[in-house]
């Protein structure tokens, strides 16, 4: 049986969060179950981008502080970090409020620039990974995912959180090479199996719905989840937002290959009740059609595609920089007389090259990239069994 502790917590007032964290940890047997005094443990929050806590893009600093505090009290040596989708760790840590807390508590910033290859012979598909040094050399990892909608994987939670242990632009290579959803989800399962975080504490006090994982809307759920089983905690989070766990490829594959358990019969829920937290109108990012169809014509007719809302675009070019397709599927129109890219126009897409990884949608700082389902895709979605 896998255990998931659910602790209701209304907001990020620190005393409430600390008491929720302490209660959740105690229900799983206490901090001593996850680390010994003197061990070097990495805390891996979600630091997708340099955004303030109220935007709900990143793990909230109060959750980080409460979890870190519990482990420090136990005599554990902590470091922390993540490899943001764009821009460096320091900037994201500053803006999200984590850097200040870490400095106050004497927690070191881990090295997420340099990678080291880890061999993982047990991998179903990926037998090795280049992992950020901080994660590769830590004796253990505590993963602090944020619950958000995600254009590619539907939700981002515990299994997806380890993708940030792959340094910098290497992440784009995985998007470019693993062009089918099943392959990408299998890679996430292998990566999580390779890194084996000892504990997951999911920040679902304020989740994100809609155009996630960066530009959606905050949505209150009011809970923290705790588990050492990434499949169980993601399955519980999926149920909380009204989704069938096996409709998410990474959860289904995770159970299939033994990463954890998603079936209700295999889970012991501890702490507070799940039922009052369940919401049935949680908005997804809409990209749920067969995202990785390889035939261009069929794909363009059916699969959600990214589009730029011109009035929101500030012409920063981040979408072009992060596009992993080769050649790039998004580019400036031309050079204007001042040598500025795009001649004042937003970038444009070449949908035949676009692999629908949605990195441009994920990392646009202005929320200017939305996903639109072509007419045939809408008809196709109506034929599919409901996810919610
Ligand atoms: S779409 Fe977004 S990321 Fe791309 S140039 Fe415009 S604002 Fe920047
Ligand atoms: S254009 Fe956007 S969705 Fe298409 S491949 Fe590039 S980053 Fe991915």
Q: Work out the number of other CB atoms within 10 angstroms of the CB of residue 340.
A: 11
CA–centroid distance, residue 347 to ligand 1 (Å): 7
Q: How confident is the model at residue 141 (pLDDT cuts 50, 70, 90)?
A: very high
Q: Residue 81 contacts by C-beta under 8 Å, 6 or more apart in sequence?
A: 42, 44, 47, 89, 93, 109, 110, 111, 112, 132, 134
Q: Pocket around ligand 1: residues whose beta carbon is below 6 Å from it? A: 308, 313-319, 346-347, 364, 366, 368-369
Distance CA 235, CA 282 (A): 15
Q: Which residue's CA is minimally distant from atom 8 of ligand 1?
A: 316
User: What's the CA-to-centroid distance between 312 and ligand 2, angstroms?
Assistant: 18
- Whole-angstrom distance, CA of residue 168 vs CA of residue 355: 20
Predicted confidence at residue 182, as pLDDT, reads: 92
Per DSSP, the three-state class of 102 is helix
Max intra-chain CA distance, the chain: 66
Residue 105's pLDDT is what? Answer: 98
Residues 22-52 pLDDT 10s: 999 999 999 999 999 999 999 999 999 999 9
Tokens read off for 206: 């304020």
Confidence of residue 306 (pLDDT cuts 50, 70, 90): very high
Distance (Å) of CA 123 to CA 20, 177, 193, 254: 35, 17, 8, 12
pTM greater than the 0.85 cutoff: yes
Q: What is the mean pLDDT of residues 189-214?
A: 97
Query: What pLDDT does residue 125 have?
Result: 97
As a whole number of angstroms, the distance between CA 252 and CA 258 comes to 10
CATH top-level class of 2-277: alpha beta
Q: Which of 1-10, 191-200, 340-349 has the lowest mean pLDDT?
A: 340-349
Quote the CA–CA distance of 111 and 93 in Å, as a whole number: 13
Least confident of 125-129, 288-292, 312-316, 326-330: 288-292
Q: For 317, what's the count of Cα atoms within 13 Å in the CB-facing half-sphere? A: 10
- Range with the lowest mean pLDDT among 59-73, 191-205, 296-310? 296-310
- Name the residue of 346, 360, 363, 367 to mutate for ligand 1: max ligand atoms within 8 A of Cβ: 346
Asked if pLDDT for residue 364 goes beyond 70, the answer is yes
Using alpha carbons, select from 242, 262, 59, 82 the residue that is nearest to residue 162.
82
CA dihedral 68, 197, 208, 93 (to 10 degrees): 50
User: 354 pLDDT exceeds 80?
Assistant: yes
Residues present in the chain in total: 388
Distance from C-alpha of 197 to C-alpha of 97, rounded to nearest angstrom? 23
User: What tokens appear for 101 in the block?
Assistant: 């807390």
Alpha-carbon distance of 365 to 354, in angstroms, equals: 20
Which residue among 341, 342, 364, 370 is best mutated to probe the pocket of ligand 1, counting the most ligand atoms within 8 A of its Cβ? 364
Residue 337 has pLDDT above 70, yes or no: no
Decide if pLDDT at 375 tops 80: no
Token couple for 352: 């035949």
Per-residue pLDDT, averaged over 260-284, amounts to 95
Residues of the chain with CATH 3.30.70.20: 296-383
pLDDT over 70 at 294, yes or no:
no
pLDDT at 339: 57
DSSP single-letter state for residue 213? T
Higher-confidence residue of 387 and 132: namely 132
Fold of 296-383: Alpha-Beta Plaits (3.30.70)
Ligand 2: which residue has its CA nearest to atom 6?
Answer: 323
Residue, of 181 and 77, whose pLDDT is higher:
77
As annotated, the residues of the chain forming the CATH 3.40.50 domain(s) are: 2-277
Please state, for a pLDDT cut of 70, what percent of the chain lies above it.
Answer: 93
pLDDT category at 381 given cuts 50, 70, 90 is low
- pLDDT (average), residues 311-337: 89
Residue 154's closest CA among 205, 178, 127, 188?
188
Q: How far apart are CA 287 and CA 304, in angstroms?
A: 6
Confidence of residue 384 (pLDDT cuts 50, 70, 90): low
Residue 118 to residues 35, 133, 153, 324, Cα–Cα distance (Å): 22, 10, 25, 23
Q: How confident is the model at residue 291 (pLDDT cuts 50, 70, 90)?
A: low
What is the number of the ligand closest to the CA of 323?
2
Q: What's the pLDDT band for 268 if we cut at 50, 70, 90?
A: very high
* Minimal-distance CA residue to ligand 1 atom 7: 313
Q: Whose CA is closest to 146, among 11, 53, 38, 266?
A: 53
What pLDDT is attached to residue 373? 85
Concatenated DSSP letters for 110-158? P--SSEEEEE-TT-SS--EEEEEHHHHH-SEEEEE-EEEEETTTEEESH
Q: What is the pLDDT of residue 87?
A: 85
Q: Give the model confidence (pLDDT) of 222-263 as tens digits.
A: 999 999 999 999 999 999 999 999 999 999 999 999 999 999
Angle at 234 between CA 238 and CA 6, to 5 degrees: 85
Lowest mean pLDDT among 58-72, 277-291, 315-329: 277-291
Q: pLDDT tens for residues 147-198?
A: 999 999 999 999 999 999 999 889 999 999 998 889 999 999 999 999 999 9
What's the whole-number average pLDDT of the chain? Answer: 93
Bridge partners, 199 (sequence order):
142
Give CA separation, 164 vs 8, 186, 255, 296, 374, in Å.
27, 16, 22, 30, 31
Helix (H, G, I), strand (E, B) or coil at 16: helix
């Amino acid at each position: 049986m896998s255990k998931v502790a659910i602790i209701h917590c209304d907001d990020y007032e620190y005393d409430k969060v600390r008491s929720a964290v302490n209660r959740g940890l105690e229900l799983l047997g206490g901090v001593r179950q996850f680390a010994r005094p003197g061990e070097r443990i990495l805390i891996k929050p979600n630091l997708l981008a340099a955004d303030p806590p109220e935007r709900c893009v990143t793990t909230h600093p109060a959750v980080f502080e409460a979890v870190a505090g519990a482990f420090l009290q136990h005599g554990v040596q902590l470091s922390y970090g993540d490899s943001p989708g764009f821009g460096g760790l320091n900037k994201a840590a500053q803006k999200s409020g984590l850097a200040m807390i870490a400095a106050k508590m004497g927690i070191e910033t881990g090295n997420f620039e340099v990678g080291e290859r880890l061999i993982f012979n047990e991998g179903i598909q990926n037998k090795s990974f280049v992992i950020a040094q901080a994660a590769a050399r830590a004796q253990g990892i505590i993963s602090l995912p944020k619950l958000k909608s995600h254009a590619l994987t539907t939700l981002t939670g515990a299994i997806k959180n380890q993708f940030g242990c792959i340094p910098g632009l290497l992440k784009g290579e995985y998007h470019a090479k693993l062009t089918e959803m099943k392959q990408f989800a299998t890679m996430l399962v292998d990566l999580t199996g390779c890194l084996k975080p000892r504990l997951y504490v999911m920040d679902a006090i304020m989740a994100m719905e809609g155009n996630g994982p960066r530009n959606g809307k905050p949505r209150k759920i009011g809970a923290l989840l705790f588990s050492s089983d990434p499949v169980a905690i993601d399955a519980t989070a999926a149920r909380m937002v009204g989704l069938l766990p096996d409709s998410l490829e990474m959860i289904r594959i995770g159970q299939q290959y033994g990463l954890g358990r998603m079936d209700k019969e295999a889970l012991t829920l501890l702490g507070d009740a799940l039922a009052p937290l369940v919401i049935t109108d949680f908005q997804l990012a809409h990209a749920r059609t067969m995202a990785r169809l390889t035939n261009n014509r069929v794909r363009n007719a059916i699969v959600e595609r990214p589009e730029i809302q011109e009035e929101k675009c500030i012409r920063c070019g981040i979408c072009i920089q992060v596009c992993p397709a080769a050649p790039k599927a998004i580019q400036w129109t031309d050079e204007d007389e001042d040598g500025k890219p795009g001649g004042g126009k937003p970038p444009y897409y070449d949908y035949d090259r676009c692999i629908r990884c949605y990195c441009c949608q994920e990392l646009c700082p202005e929320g200017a990239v939305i996903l639109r389902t072509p007419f045939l895709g809408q008809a196709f979605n109506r034929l599919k069994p409901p996810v919610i």
